[in-house]
Amino acid sequence: MASEQSQGARFSIYLPRHHGAPEKEIEASKPSVLRGGGETILVVEDDESLLRLTQVVLAQEGYHVLATASSIEAIEMVRQQEGEIDLLLADVVMPEMSGVELANEIKKIRPNIKTLFMSGYARTAELNHETREKAVPFLDKPFTPDRLTVKVREAIDSEN
């Protein structure tokens, strides 16, 4: 290290030279993501860009995706959908009704639908005591595509 008044400091770092063949690169381990098997997921997210991104990621993983930014429209989609809807992926905090309220309304129409909540707020922001006790699956925002697909697969495969 060299230092002079009003001139700053200079640091020199000396590393030993490596002799021999380069070492093999170690691949970063990627979480094992189980691809979708054509299951239908209803995504309800009021942030349009996140809604579209989620829709694209899940479709690329083999899921059939129904997507909307409106809770009211989501309920109508559930009523009109002829086939099974395997999972509701809903934001917790939305303008028309909370994700918990939406899930309760949808379960009246489709009692066997599974639910995965997501939020960028504290996990307990809108989840009531009863819902927390049931250990409902939850995805914290922001999330990576891999984290999204892992949580979706876990929610679909869960017993609840």
Residue 122 lies in a domain: yes
Residue 60 lies in a domain: yes
pTM for this prediction: 0.75
Q: How many domains does the chain have?
A: 1
Residue 146 lies in a domain: yes
For the stretch 49-75, what's the b/e string if a residue is b when 16 or more beta carbons lie within 10 angstroms of its beta carbon? ebbeebbebbeebebbbbbbbbbeebb
Residue that wins the pLDDT comparison between 53 and 1: 53
* Domain around 149: 36-157
- Which is nearest to 67 in space by CA: 54, 79, 80, 81? 54
Residue 18 lies in a domain: no
For the stretch 98-137, what's the b/e string if a residue is b when 16 or more beta carbons lie within 10 angstroms of its beta carbon? bbbebbeebeeebeebbbbbbbeeeeeebbeeebeeeebb
Residue 30 lies in a domain: no
CATH number for position 100: 3.40.50.2300
Residue 34 to residue 58: CA distance in whole angstroms? 11
pLDDT of residue 27: 52
Contact 92, 118 (CB under 8 A): yes
Question: pLDDT tens-digit profile of 107-155?
Answer: 999 999 999 999 887 555 445 444 545 567 889 999 999 999 999 999 9
3-state SS class at 2: strand
Residue 31 lies in a domain: no
Residue 15 lies in a domain: no
148 burial type by CB count under 10 A (0-12 exposed, 13-18 middle, 19+ buried): buried
Residue 2 lies in a domain: no
